[in-house]
Amino acid sequence: MRIVIALGGNAMLQRGQPLEAAIQRENIRKAAEVIARVAKDHEVILTHGNGPQVGLLALQNAAYDKVSPYPLDVLGAETAGMIGYMMEQELYNQMPGAQIATMVTQTLVDNNDPAFQDPTKFVGPVYGKEEAEALAAEKNWSIKADGEYFRRVVPSPLPKSIIEVEMVKKLSEMGALVICSGGGGVPVRKLEDGKLEGVEAVVDKDLTAALLAEQMGADALVIMTDVAAVCVNFGQPDQKKIHKASVQGIGELDFPAGSMGPKIDSCAQFVEKGGRFAAIGSLYDVEKIVTGEAGTWITNEVEGISFYEKKEEAAVA
């Protein structure tokens, strides 16, 4: 199968960990071990988040005031190269002799997207409430709650197309494991004369992954996160893990807009556009997720929603 795997930020930096290069590399090494096993039997296109990393670059950027701050699109390109380099190297160490390529790709957005008026995309490290409010006042940031913490938020317009998708296809067809659309891709708009220009935003990684999977004609989209499966009544005594669901079935449920909601929307979008299945689950279960034994599948090969039995839940928790 041709599979687009989207790694969440937890694959590189677990919540609360310091933004140290050595810590990120160790987490990426662990992720590479798992991805390499899937890549032995499937054609893999890999994408990833960059929220903590682009936020860190923005902080470093602001600390040096001898030059004007670099815009978010440039910082996004920097993170795609940095993270791609680490992933490429660690994957090669797991798959000696493999063809692995990192591409900094551009994602076309609509400059009139209403998201520019309502920032929602989390970037950078987490803060306590007082520190977040102080930074918001000092740097004119927008800040929102992220669980028990607070983080900076920036505009997140919808992705319209991936500029370099044909080159990604060619590399993949040549047998390369391609790492691309990092952080949702570098957001750009098209001017009246057809030229491209970067915009001050961060595109949602999962929505771009769904678009990438669609444009690549992938069989599956697998979104890796820090939960074993999508849950109904998450955190409540009657919490249940979803095993498989149709697009219609999953669409009848409500999920938080700031966390699971975009992932569900991305999966549903891919399946509606003809993908065989999309899945959400833990990185370390990815082999079982691909076979439908773990995680949550969204597919029109089933009707309604099925849940894991309690004994099965334990296997994927």
Catalytic residues: 9-10, 121, 205, 263
Residue 224 phi, psi (nearest 5): -95, 130
> Tokens representing 246?
């149709």
Q: At 52, is the secondary structure helix, strand, or coil? A: helix
CA distance 80 to 62: 20
Let me know the angle formed at the C-alpha of 165 by 89 and 181, rounded to the nearest 5 degrees.
45
Please measure the distance between the N-terminal and C-terminal CA atoms of the chain and give it in whole angstroms: 26
- In total, the chain counts a number of residues equal to 317
Longest dimension (CA), the chain: 60
Q: At 258, is the secondary structure helix, strand, or coil? A: coil
Sorted by sequence, the CB contacts under 8 Å of residue 315 that are 6+ apart come out as 294
Strand partners, 298: 245, 278
DSSP string, 87-135: HHHHHHHHSTT--EEE---EEE--TT-GGGGS--EEEEEEE-HHHHHHH
